[in-house]
Amino acid sequence: MATQIPSPPRVGMVSLGCPKNLVDSERILTQLRADGYQMSADYVGADVVLVNTCGFLDSAKEESLEAIGEAIAENGRVIVTGCMGKEAEAIRARFPDVLAITGAHEYEQVVEAVHAAAPASLSPFVDLIPDAGLKLTPRHYSYLKISEGCNHRCSFCIIPSLRGDLVSRRPDAILREAEKLVAAGTKELLVISQDTSAYGIDIRDQSRMWKGAEVRPHMTDLARELGRIAPWVRLHYVYPYPHVDQVIPLMAEGLVLPYLDIPFQHAAPSVLRRMKRPANDAKVLSRIKAWREVCPDIAIRSTFVVGFPGETEADFQYLLDWLDEAQLDRVGAFRFEPVEGASANALPDPVPEAVKEERYARIMEKTAAISAAKLAAKVGRTLEVIIDAVDVESGGASGRSMADAPEIDGEVHLRDAGHAAPGDILRVVIEEADDHDLFGVPAHR
Ligand code: SF4
């Protein structure tokens, strides 16, 4: 049976007050966009409306109350946040139907309230960030969405029919959002879109001025500028087009993390053709080799689908041999599942479930062995690690190296790191490794 994808909920936002409030509004919207919500420009199209209030002066309070009243009258489903959150009683007395009230800078709570009021069911088929349930992104890393939609027509995917063709955001708007996120505590920006390498092809003539220089709407320019704003910048969903070669020197220079998330999905030419995958030429292996010559530490992450209709044992063996050559650092695998509306559902020769399972087990075994060997080679090295969580009692901490994106890749487990705080970037001596994780201790400061 084909999997049905629900349409994403829409959020309206009214932001009042000072620039600090605007930073909070942007932070909230960035998180919601990354969580799969769409924005609504009017009250009518919104499933829920957020009013980010200002309570600095009496006149500002009155303006905030009027904005809440208008949102209630026009839409009815309203969440209030911002400085007036301190006066929850007064707001409730006047507007008993308000769904939730949170205070200034409590954006985790606001996002939680939106999830409760208009649940977004994350789907691995259309959403870009890992499904971590209601766990909210910690402040030290943020997803930054640079475009919507996609110009490709992969046969297993329904995103173009749901979200339309590629629409890139203006480079200066993205950079401004990145600056605000960093001002609010973000150390690591995770750049996401359906096809990051295609960024800007729809607005190529719309270069913008940024800090006195022109920035083209192009992945390379954007990556370079983001690298000047945030300590860590990680690129997701990149296809191996020739122009991607230009970002590898930025990685070697340390402006962008030496990490590429490339959803190859398969390697066998006949399967890629039936999948209608972009940039699937046979030279990918030599391109990967060339990237490693420029930036030896580059970590390549990918996902693969096994059991796609018509995949033969020979196709699958081709994929395993290709993985032996490619030596990818991180790999996720999925068994093919039809998604309602995808053209691949009509392809002949479905692969039996038992064969899918068997191939899935084989690809996982292969990629775990590659990962284990690559991680073992890191023992004894000193790596930079961003701290995600600290257990003060035990003195342990967990974090990620440059080769690890949150939720989807491995972790670095630290001992004697009780002094650290989430978001710190420490130099760590690696002492041990297993199939997916590293273990170490902070280097002497
Ligand atoms: S590149 Fe293919 S899989 Fe990715 S969003 Fe576009 S159509 Fe879907």
Task: Report the nearest atom of ligand 1 relative to the CA of 156.
Answer: 3
Give me ligand 1 centre to Cα 373, in Å: 31
Ligand 1 binding pocket (C-beta < 6 A) is: 150, 152-154, 157, 159-160, 194-195, 278
Q: How far is the CA of 220 from the centre of ligand 1 (A)?
A: 21
Residue 316's Cα: distance from chain center in Å?
29
Mutate to test the pocket of ligand 1, among 195, 236, 238 (most ligand atoms within 8 A of CB): 195
Contact status, residue 146 vs residue 171, Cβ threshold 8 Å: no
Q: Is the pLDDT of residue 327 over 50?
A: yes
Distance, CA of 369 to CA of 374 (rounded, Å): 9
Atom of ligand 1 nearest to the CA of 277: 2
Binding residues: 18, 54, 83, 150, 154, 157
Interatomic CA distance for residues 34 and 28, integer angstroms = 10
Q: How many A from CA of 169 to the centre of ligand 1?
A: 18
CA 385 to chain centre: 19
Helix (H) and strand (E) counts for the chain? 12, 20
391: how many CB neighbours lie within 10 A of its CB? 12
For a pLDDT cut of 90, what percent of the chain falls above it?
66
Q: Whose CA is nearest to atom 4 of ligand 1?
A: 194
C-alpha angle 440-441-444 in degrees, rounded to nearest 5: 145
Tokens at 75, concatenated:
């839409």
Q: What is the DSSP letter of 242?
A: G
Query: Which one, of 436, 435, 439, 433, lies nearest residue 407 by Cα?
Result: 436
d(CA 441, CA 396): 9
pTM: 0.79
Q: Which mutation among 125, 145, 150, 196 tests ligand 1's pocket best, with the greatest number of atoms within 8 A of CB?
A: 150
Note whether 127 and 133 are within 8 A (CB): no
Task: Give tens-digit pLDDT for 276-313.
Answer: 987 766 689 999 999 999 999 999 999 999 999 999 99
Residue 299 sits at the vertex; the CA angle it makes with 152 and 333, to the nearest 5 degrees, is: 55
Nearest residue CA, atom 2 of ligand 1?
154
By percentage, how much of the chain surpasses pLDDT 70?
Answer: 92
pLDDT of 176-200, one tens digit each?
889 888 887 899 999 988 899 999 9
Q: What is the 33 CA–ligand 1 centroid distance (Å)? A: 18
DSSP string, 389-443: EEETTTTEEEEEETT--TTTS--EEESS-TT--TT-EEEEEEEEE-SS-EEEEEP
Residue 205, sorted as left (phi over 0), alpha (psi -120 to 50) or beta, turns out to be alpha
Alpha carbon distance 282, 326 (integer Å):
12
* Domains of the chain (ranges, CATH numbers): 10-117 (3.40.50.12160), 141-376 (3.80.30.20), 382-442 (2.40.50.140)
Q: Rounded CA gap, 295 and 306, in Å?
A: 30
Q: What is the pLDDT of residue 133?
A: 43
Query: Mind listing the pLDDT tens digit for each residue in 131-170?
Result: 544 445 677 998 888 988 899 999 998 888 877 899 999 9
Distance in Å, CA 434 to ligand 1 centroid: 33
- Ligand 1 centroid vs 259 CA: distance in angstroms? 20
Nearest CA to ligand 1 atom 5: 194
Give the residue among 146, 127, 243, 144 at the shortest CA–CA distance from 186. 144
Nearest CA to 388 among 348, 360, 363, 420? 420
Q: Is the pLDDT of residue 260 over 90?
A: yes
Q: Annotated binding residues for [4Fe-4S] cluster, as ranges? A: 18, 54, 83, 150, 154, 157
Would you say residue 62 has pLDDT above 50? yes
Phi, psi of 256 (to 5 degrees): -125, 145
Confidence bin at 444 (pLDDT 50/70/90): confident
